[in-house]
Amino acid sequence: MMLKNIVSLSKRMAVRCIPVFISLFTSSGASSQDRTKSVQEQLEAVVEKPRPVKVIFDTDMGPDYDDVGAIALLHAFADSGRADILATMASNKYEGVAAVLNLFNTYFHRPGIPIGVPKGDAVDQRDSQHWTDSILARYPHAIRLNSEAPDAVRLYRKILAGQDDGRVVVVTVGFLTNLSGLLHSGPDEYSPLSGPELVRKKVRLLVSMAGRFPSGKEFNVFRDARSSQYVFAHWPSRVLFSGFEIGMNIRCGLPLIHDESIQNSPVKDVFRISIPQVEEDRMGRKSWDETAVLVALGGYKRYYTVRPGRIKVADDGSNTWEDAGKEGGLEKGPGGIGSGFLQSYLVVEKPPVEVQHLIDALIRHQPL
Ligand SMILES: [Ca+2]
């Protein structure tokens, strides 16, 4: 029992070692009246708790399993108080994707997180390793069919309309299908604003695992190229890209599958099932999607710098990059003057193995 507690504590500490978890202490200037308060009350009065990031997670959750690592990180940040998960959206519509998202949210003791799925044209692609079938057969989930989940665009509008201005961070680790739908949406029962107006008002940052920089062709962008093209040309708030080149050198999952203290974990099962199936994953799975969650909720400055400019997506889904230039003066775009600065991509500053160690610790996080 004691060993279990120590293991549990060490797991929590692994999460809490993230450099972003900073408590800010200020001078209390305690009066005699204050001294009658309990120590706990006085501490609560002077400790400024960091506000959790209001985050919407948008994932294709299937063709690759770094999405599973990403949702584990998402819940680890939520358990630390750093994130408030407003919704988990699917950008993929294979039957079962809503159930898989509900399964992970349930495992992390947040079964009520709203789930949206695309109801119109969307990619329909499941996993080749059969990890989705395996975990759906083993772990509880209240949602069975995609038809039980609402349309993702309508859910985006409903949630954004209810949030304070400029507070929401959207993280996409899949296709841009839903965000294109959102930008094309008009007033409805949730908001009199158009999609672009709603995003401009409510969303302060979009972090996308998308693209390859300075140029290339990447799955999340080319799989629904038209949506990617539209979103990145019209998104009216800041965008931070974690490109293909960031995650490809981060190999995670081996410490997770070899950690005997972790039992009955769908996260571990997915990596345990999938890693042995591909020779390329023998040293761990490349960790594209985890990096997007990490920088969205933990910040990027410890490991990366950013290059400002604007992405250009071609019809075939390949992308190039236009630097912001010395004056930051790209053409006047949808975000207003200097909108070129609204987009940037991560540039590696520290050895990727440092991020790898951090992600390997975070994906071993277990429900509190
Ligand atoms: Ca993905």
Whether the pLDDT of residue 31 is over 70: the answer is no
Identify the band that residue 28 occupies on the pLDDT scale cut at 50, 70 and 90.
very low
Looking at residue 50, its pLDDT comes to 74
Q: What angle do CA 164, 169, 175 make, to 5 degrees?
A: 135
Q: Return the pLDDT at 37.
A: 66
The DSSP line for 353-368 is HHHHHHHHHHTT----
Q: Cα of 91 to ligand 1 centre, how many Å?
A: 9
* CA 56 to ligand 1 centroid distance, Å: 14
Rounded Cα distance between 111 and 85, Å, is 11
How far is the centre of ligand 1, averaged over its atoms, from the C-alpha of 175 (Å)? 8
In order of start, what are the domains of the chain with their CATH numbers?
Answer: 1-50 (no CATH), 51-362 (3.90.245.10)
Ion ligand 1: residue ranges with CB closer than 5 A: 60, 67, 173-174, 289
Distance 4 CA to ligand 1 centre (A): 33
φ, ψ of residue 227 to 5 degrees: the values are -65, -45
Tokens of 281: 């994953």
pLDDT confidence tier of residue 147, bands split at 50, 70 and 90: very high
Q: How far is the CA of 220 from the centre of ligand 1 (A)?
A: 7
Quick one: pLDDT at residue 43? 65
Would you say residue 30 has pLDDT above 50?
Answer: no
For residue 98, how far is its CA from the centre of ligand 1 (angstroms)?
15
For 217, phi then psi, to 5°, come to -140, 125
